[in-house]
Amino acid sequence: MSEPMDLNKMMKRVEELVAQLEEGTLSLEANLKAFEEANGLIKTIEKTIKDAELKIEQILQNK
C-alpha cells in the first residue's frame, strides 16, 4: 500500500491535474479521471486544514 501524501504533495498533484485539464489534450475519460482525482484531493486538503485549525484552537484554549 502506498504512503499517504502530505499536504504539499497533494497540492502539487492538484496543480498538475489542473494543468493537464487546462491543456485540453486529454480524452473525455482521462479528463473525468483527472477531475475526480483533483476533487478528491481538494476535499482531503480542506479536511486536513480544518483539522489543523481545530487543533490550533484547542491548543490556544488550553494555554
pLDDT, tens only, 21-45:
999 999 999 999 999 999 999 999 9
Interhelix angle 28-61/7-23, rounded to 10 degrees, is 150
Among 9, 63, 47, CA closest to 17: 9
Is the pLDDT confidence value at 50 over 50?
A: yes
CA dist 49 → 3, 18, 32, 40 (Å): 19, 20, 26, 14
Please answer whether residues 14 and 35 qualify as being in contact, where contact means their C-beta atoms are separated by less than 8 angstroms.
Answer: no
For residue 18, the SS3 value is helix
Query: The pTM is what?
Result: 0.82
